[in-house]
Structure 1
């Protein structure tokens, strides 16, 4: 298909994002599938995958142009999963050490829960719930990585440099996550001040995580490694729980902060080295051509 000329990439991304955001609000406030046996708000994400595919096709983008490259994709997903496992292994160990120091650690338990911002809720051990958890998180990463690290950067790349496009998509990804604390406030499960604090924290943390995923996509040449890391990040907190004498996952925010801070620093360090190596190789190739 012939590519459509994109004259106003930011306006186009803003329009698509607004549509997604409206669908997200409707899903979380009206349908509330995440509060049912499904345990995940997947309707707007399924629609997001469909809309992303239609828009990419309409603009003439091939799958590899929005991150779905051909090649060793299983290996890239595995690398993302392994990276997530390594940083969360450290984060869980730190949480357990802190709980033992406080004399409150009970055990690690494996069951399905629903994410609830400050702590997980539910305790489901049926096989069906594990399958639903996996499927829900696969749908989630396909929609979010496909759009925020695939389609949006590709559209913005028509006019903006990588750094600027990354800032825009990371900010949008951060804002994407404020809906849940707003719903908690509307449902009177959270105070207004608590909602503001949660919104600010989620916006900043999610934007930083989005930046990390974008850098992973840039270095790996596709969205598959970021998908693997994203999937592990979301799934592990729903399956593996630190139980203390007074409850479960009481320090989940600390655990997530440790894992994400560590992973961001590691990715940033590697990215700086990767850029220097690429710049050196480019200069060397230019020298060879000149000679």
Structure 2
């Protein structure tokens, strides 16, 4: 898998976008129904990027501090790598690879946010409460990400028990992210803030901006992502509760 530019990860995202539009037509919905609104595009994108920048600034600072106190030489590297739970893959430094990475991640957030926070959220909400819809779409989003440890298991890089433990961890982490982006959707009325935060996590913090030391690359990437996501999740929940209280005045 993933031996060419047009790997299965790209193909399934394109297929997902096509299927999303087919389903919208069947439901007689337009794209605004699932959060692709005409208003607030720039404003909410900037909010999403601000949330990601602040959260990952904290995460990168903690990561670099840990390596510094271990007396390692560290610097930030800007290059392309494929994300893996078992270590860094091939490194690409060409500008063409950077643009391809950006393009693929735009496709990714359109498909995933449009499907989970958009279509699934609205479909579930037609029968159940907004709260139930929020948590079900987040659970589905978590299950969707089992494919990452599944790759490693199929390739023999992890054991069966490793696959189970990583899958549970992924469901929890991705599920938490799904709740966060769902709350951003409810607070802003569109998908763009969540898409910006999602894009920054996948494109910048995972694939482009790396912590390099004399003993390796991204040795604490999982902890970096975990710290940033927990921190940003707490911010969004705090803002959500504040908005609810304000709405009751």
TM bucket, shorter chain: over 0.9
Distance in 2 of aligned mates of 1:258 and 1:143: 25
Report what 1:57 is aligned to. 25
Report matched runs for 1:21-32 at 5 Å. 32=1
- The equivalent of 1:78 in structure 2 is 46
- What aligned pairs does 1:174-253 form with structure 2 within 5 A after superposition? 174-236=142-204, 237-253=206-222
Q: What is the TM-score normalised by the length of structure 1?
A: 0.82
**Any gaps of 5 or more consecutive residues in structure 2?**
none
1:41-56 alignment to 2 at 5 Å? 41-56=9-24
1:274 maps onto 2:239 in alignment: no
| Cα deviation, residue 180, structure 1 | 1.8
Give 1:105 shift: 3.3
Asked if the contact 2:49–2:196 (Cα under 8 Å) also holds between the matched residues in 1, the reply is yes
Q: From 118, 128, 131, give the equivalent of 2:99.
A: 131
In the TM superposition, residue 278 of structure 1 has moved relative to its aligned partner by 1.6
Paired position in structure 1 for 2:79: 111
Shift of 1:93: 0.8
C-alpha displacement of 1:38: 5.1
Q: Deviations over 1:1-59 (max 9, x none)?
A: xxxxxxxxxxxxxxxxxxxxxxxxxxxxxxx2x34345771101101011101111210
Is the Cα contact below 8 Å between 2:117 and 2:182 reproduced in 1?
yes
Q: Which residue of 2 aligns with 1:150?
A: 118
Answer whether contact 2:102 2:203 (CA < 8 A) is retained: yes
Q: Contact 1:96–1:105 at 8 Å: present in 2 too?
A: no
Q: Give the match for residue 96 of structure 1.
A: 64
> In the alignment, is the contact (CA less than 8 A) between 2:86 and 2:152 conserved in 1?
no
- The structure whose Rg is larger is 1
- The separation in 1 between residues aligned to 2:96 and 2:6, in whole angstroms, is 10
- Whole-angstrom distance in 2 between the partners of 1:144 and 1:204: 17
CA distance in 2, matches of 1:268, 1:119: 32
TM-score normalised per structure 2? 0.96
**Cα shift readout 1:143-168 (whole Å, capped 9, x = no counterpart):** 00001000111111111111001111
1:193-249 Cα shifts (integer Å, max 9, x gaps): 211111111111000010000000000000011001100111112101111111100
Distance 1:78 1:39, change over 3 A: farther
- Cα distance 1:214–1:132, how it changes in 2: closer, same or farther (>3 A)? same
- Secondary structure, counterpart of 2:9 in structure 1: coil
Runs of 4+ in structure 1 deviating by more than 3 angstroms, as ranges, are 37-40
- Which stretches in structure 1 are left out of the alignment for 5+ residues? 1-31, 281-291
Contact 2:64 2:74 in 1 (8 A): no
Bigger Cα displacement from structure 2, 112-121 vs 200-209: 112-121
Give secondary structure in 2 for the equivalent of 1:42: helix
C-alpha distance in structure 1 between counterparts of 2:167 and 2:40, whole Å: 38
Show CA shifts across 1:96-117 (max 9, x none). Answer: 0110000123211100111113
SS in 2 for 1:156: helix
**Is 1:36 aligned with 2:9?**
no
Partner of 1:27: none
State the 1:126 CA deviation: 0.6
Q: Distance in 2 between matches of 1:72 and 1:165?
A: 23
